[in-house]
Structure 1
Amino acid sequence: MAVAMSLIPGLDEIVRQGDPKRLAEVARRIAELFLQGAANFRSDHVDLFDHVLIDLVPHTGIPARADLAERLSVLANAPRTLVGQLAREDEISIAGPLLRRSPVIDEGVLIEIARMKGQGHLLAMSERPKLSPDLTDVIVRRGDRDVVRRTAANAGAFFSQAGYSSLIKRAGKDGVLTLAVGQRDDLSDHLLKELLAGSIDVVRRRLFDVVKPSKQAAISRAISEISGVAGCVESRRDFAPAQRAILALHRSGGLNEAALLGFAKAYRYEESVTALSAMSGVKIATLDRLMAGDRHDPVLILGKAIGLEWATVRALILLRSGPARAPSPVDIENVRSNFVRLMPLTAERVVNFWQTRQSA
């Protein structure tokens, strides 16, 4: 401290003279003194350096301030006012290191900066080890695509209910964000279902493949509910005659994809569902509810899992709609594309879940 104190008496004269080069040199020397002895300084020593440097550091150039910010960013006893001053600078090479990791920036300062500064500051902030719900509310509201993706992928970030709602809404148009949000450990099953409901099929399948095994069951359950397994009324169809017919066909060795295709093309719903049940191992009641749902996904999943050709899957899609309500060619092409992209392993996992659920 003796060296630092010896510099301080002459500061008034240096500041009055206003020589930029001399001010910058003094700032550099005092900052270096602090950095070399920071581990041994008491809080009152740190406050003294803080008081002196906040007036001197602005006279240094951008490279010098950026270097100082980088070195201060890892110190638990960095001068708090100086750090806040540097973190508010527009130049991201200066503010960035402190916003990413400095442990001495107050929550209020972070929120203030998040509300006022640009995307570079928000992006740097999104990498902090911990982010509070109040802070992520601002980041998600103001951040661009890259900022929000980075924040959602930060395991140390916490989100309010409103924050999660905003994330899920934005994820509906951003598959990468869907994957980031869907892999979060703190995402509830309810929010997971909401996230999946707004995503396209290929993103759902990708999410299933990348999450932890413990979360795959929750995804399968959500997809099943979205597809119509849960909450549907019981079917009034009589499947008994179809069961007898399919059993006889099976005994004669005639139960195959060609037979299923024939049933579907003839719009013989009960026979088609019963044949699918025999070929997939999923109960008729479950398949009936799936087929009666609002989405084509269950048909694609079943078809891919048991190795059906697109022609048969297409016939089953048309069967669901009925002869008077055929989907448009554009819709059919979109469904075909989804079927082609669907991975067999993913489809098999979902079908296995249906089988396990019906057994339970």
Structure 2
Amino acid sequence: MTAAASLIPGFEDFVRNGGPERRAEAARRIAELFFQGAARLRSDHVDLFDGILIDLVPYVATIARAELAERFSLLANAPRSLVGQLARENEILVAGPVLRRSPVLEEQVLLEVARLKGQGHLLAMAERKTLSPVLTDVMVHRGDREVVRRTAGNAGAMFSEKGFVELIKRGTRDAVLTLTVGRRDDLPEPRLKELLAGSLDVVRRRLFDVVKPDRQAAIRQALSEILGSPEQLEKATHDFIPAQRAILALHKAGKLNEAALLGFAKQYAYEESIAALAALSGVSIPTLDQLISGDRHDPILIVGKAIGLEWATVRALIVLRLGPHRVPAPADLEAARVNFARLMASTAERVASFWKTR
């Protein structure tokens, strides 16, 4: 207390006799003094500030604490105990900055936060420059879809065998996650094979298009082992030329309409469905293939509304994305139906018009 009093005139009075407002004022003044001299402070000086601020900062208003957390998160010699206290706060505005980037935040604190706090805290942690395998195990186990995607996409994150297994398991229900995991340089080839085995053909093709050349070779090898015959491998990575020819023939015969599209979708003829949808909408096949291979139904809803499709056809296209052996959750289908009904045709037409220019 004597050392602190020599640094800040009136400090003892602030602490002993002041109410919350005076203590908050003391915290702001002491923190500012720290920031001004941070580059010159010895470790024992930092410890002194740490011991003082950890008792005063809780009295500071939330917005002010968030500002302090932002500034402390950038310092390599920030007070460790105080930073840990900020990281444990329930208010994500305060905890977020130090969880995202503080270099002094200890692994044990990160693990405690990962195990006990909410998704906002996990999402902030997913942005750190590095994440240990022990930490990502917890994040992948507890995290929601966005947390897991962000963690898998962090180049500085490391994953244990258990972590990769969990990522692959969750990827069977999340095409975006599959693409993210498949692009990781540290994904072992046996795990790549497992990832591909649980993925849709359209996702496999999309992954093949976006990975590096050396990973493309690994994907081809894995698919050849999964599918067995060269014919099946060709089917998994083929182009749309045969489907385009079939659609052109239908068009010439005057039979290219919604009924034909619905028939293709019900037969799980993906290439013919995309080629027909492209011909009816004017959006290119590569663009539609890329849009529909994502994790959301929105592109199907938009194109369907833009060209006036009935819900039954749109629903069949949604089911088509998943393949013949997977059934979408009833709640997801109902949400898609409601969104399709609410979607304005004029809005859908504007978006489709933009896609036509791609």
TM-score computed with the length of structure 1 as normaliser: 0.67
- Which residue does the alignment assign to 1:129? 129
CA 1:175–1:332 in 2, change beyond 3 Å: closer, same or farther?
Answer: closer
Residue 246 (structure 2) pairs with residue 298 (structure 1): no
- Which residue does the alignment assign to 1:98? 98
Give the superposition deviation at 1:302.
5.0
Output the amino acid matched with 2:136: T
- Which residue does the alignment assign to 1:72? 72
Measured against aligned partners, the alpha-carbon deviations of 1:288-311 in whole angstroms (never above 9, x if no partner) come to xx4xxxxxx634645746788449
Give the superposition deviation at 1:217.
1.0
- Which residue does the alignment assign to 2:62? 62
User: How far apart in 2 are the matches of 1:303 and 1:13?
Assistant: 78
- Which residue does the alignment assign to 2:110? 110
Give the superposition deviation at 1:204.
1.1
- Which residue does the alignment assign to 1:212? 212
Q: Who wins on radius of gyration, i.e. which is larger? A: 1
Indicate conservation of the 8 Å contact 2:96/2:124, yes or no.
yes
Indicate conservation of the 8 Å contact 2:171/2:178, yes or no.
yes
- Which residue does the alignment assign to 2:32? 32
Q: CA RMSD in A?
A: 2.9
- Which residue does the alignment assign to 1:227? 227
Measured against aligned partners, the alpha-carbon deviations of 1:270-325 in whole angstroms (never above 9, x if no partner) come to xxxxxxxxxxxxxxxx44xx4xxxxxx634645746788449xxxxxxxxxxxxxx
Indicate conservation of the 8 Å contact 2:244/2:275, yes or no.
no
User: How far apart in 1 are the matches of 2:169 and 2:272?
Assistant: 27
Measured against aligned partners, the alpha-carbon deviations of 1:214-234 in whole angstroms (never above 9, x if no partner) come to 2111112222222213xxxxx
Unmatched 5+ stretches in structure 1: 230-285, 291-296, 312-327, 347-360
User: How far apart in 2 are the matches of 1:308 and 1:35?
Assistant: 66
Give the superposition deviation at 1:18.
3.5
Number of equivalenced pairs: 265
Indicate conservation of the 8 Å contact 1:62/1:94, yes or no.
yes
Residue 172 (structure 2) pairs with residue 172 (structure 1): yes
Output the amino acid matched with 1:22: R
CA 1:10–1:338 in 2, change beyond 3 Å: closer, same or farther?
Answer: same
User: How far apart in 2 are the matches of 1:303 and 1:43?
Assistant: 63
Indicate conservation of the 8 Å contact 1:4/1:30, yes or no.
no
The 5-angstrom pairing of residues 82-93 of structure 1 reads 82-93=82-93
- Which residue does the alignment assign to 1:330? 266
Unmatched 5+ stretches in structure 2: 248-263, 279-284, 290-358
CA 1:199–1:109 in 2, change beyond 3 Å: closer, same or farther?
Answer: same
Residue 73 (structure 2) pairs with residue 52 (structure 1): no
Aligned partner of residue 155 in structure 1, secondary structure: coil
TM-score computed with the length of structure 2 as normaliser: 0.67
Indicate conservation of the 8 Å contact 1:178/1:199, yes or no.
yes
Aligned partner of residue 103 in structure 2, secondary structure: coil
CA 1:7–1:42 in 2, change beyond 3 Å: closer, same or farther?
Answer: closer
User: How far apart in 2 are the matches of 1:157 and 1:99?
Assistant: 14
Indicate conservation of the 8 Å contact 1:114/1:139, yes or no.
yes
